[in-house]
Amino acid sequence: MPEEMYIPTYDDMLAAHERIKPHIRRTPVRVSDYLNELTGAQLFFKCENFQEPGAFKVRGAANAVFGLDEAQAAKGVATHSSGNHASCLSYAAMLRGIPCNVVMPRTAPQAKKDTVRRYGGVITECEPSTSSREETFARVQAETGGDFVHPYNDPRVIAGQGTCSRELVEQVDGLDFVVAPIGGGGMISGTCLTLSTLAPETKVIAAEPEQADDAYRSFKAGHIIADDAPKTIADGLLVPLKDLTWHFVKNHVHEIYTASDAEIVDAMKLIWKHLRVVMEPSSAVPLATILKNPDAFSGQRVGIIITGGNVDLDKLPWN
């Protein structure tokens, strides 16, 4: 991220879409008569779990990677992440044929490490602490010269994530709401960026786990509140807002709703049963909040972003 906060614009999102179109999928939108009846709303599920690396984060990652000039590209990219951003950035770098260095706690699940390596990412392990991560990352970046692509607090990443809701409004007319999960706020920020110009009448709702509700409390307090070490089954949503995503949340988000872990698991089961989509717990938070706030959504046309599908089938949260 540049020293001075650069707020990405609608034109940045359009440029991102042109740049990444050859490298991402235009994911399908799915509906379920049963879930519509259950909620009294018309729900349209945008299935980003069907991106090649299994998550929407490939959009922002590809925008950053394919926007680099040749000199920087030769040195590649670098990030710290133990989640979908690490694998999506590795995937995008592999497509361009440039190096990707990832700093990851040595305690991260083996499956996550395997995925990054499958896409050619080079992992440097750190201790599971903020100080170790920062120290290790600074060293890796100094050694490689890789361009730092933050998982969400980066204008290129936010512009890339914004391409998802552009597709969604092309695929579905007259949405009253778009609901997406919120962790660090990259997807929500991109959604705000796009819809505030393209469909200003469509309200953006963020959905958050009760047990990691720092965005909800920030939204109500009017300033960023970061939790120390939140714990929720929706483990993609643990990270706090940062200045750039807070800008979008503060100015464009209509409301933030929360749901308990038990409600999130119930929503996962319903989506499997009626949409036949298995996804990460994080992706079930929107439906969980819709079921919890029926009056807010009844009779409305609601887009829902299913953010990712990287879950271990053998360790589903109801087993």
b vs e for 92-111, b when ≥16 Cβ sit within 10 Å of the residue's Cβ? bbbbbebbbbbbbeeebeee
Q: How far is the CB of 278 from a copy of itself (least distance, A)?
A: 5
User: What is the Cα–Cα distance from 291 to 41, expressed in whole angstroms?
Assistant: 10
CA-based torsion, 68, 22, 10, 280: positive or negative: negative
Task: Return the residue of 43, 275, 284, 285 that touches a copy of itself, per CB under 8 A.
Answer: 275
- Contact map string, positions 278 to 297, toward a copy of itself, x by CB under 8 A: x-------------------
Q: How far is the CB of 28 from a copy of itself (least distance, A)?
A: 4
Task: Return the residue of 54, 121, 155, 181 that touches a copy of itself, per CB under 8 A.
Answer: 54
User: What is the Cα–Cα distance from 93 to 120, expressed in whole angstroms?
Assistant: 8
User: What is the Cα–Cα distance from 155 to 164, expressed in whole angstroms?
Assistant: 15
- With contact defined as beta carbons under 8 Å apart, do 208 and 284 qualify? no
Q: How far is the CB of 273 from a copy of itself (least distance, A)?
A: 9
Task: Return the residue of 16, 43, 46, 50 that touches a copy of itself, per CB under 8 A.
Answer: 50
Task: Return the residue of 131, 200, 201, 318 that touches a copy of itself, per CB under 8 A.
Answer: 318
Nearer to a copy of itself, 221 or 315 (CB): 315
Question: Interface with a copy of itself by CB under 8 A: which residues?
Answer: 25, 28, 30-34, 49-50, 52, 54, 272, 275-276, 278, 309, 313-314, 316, 318-319
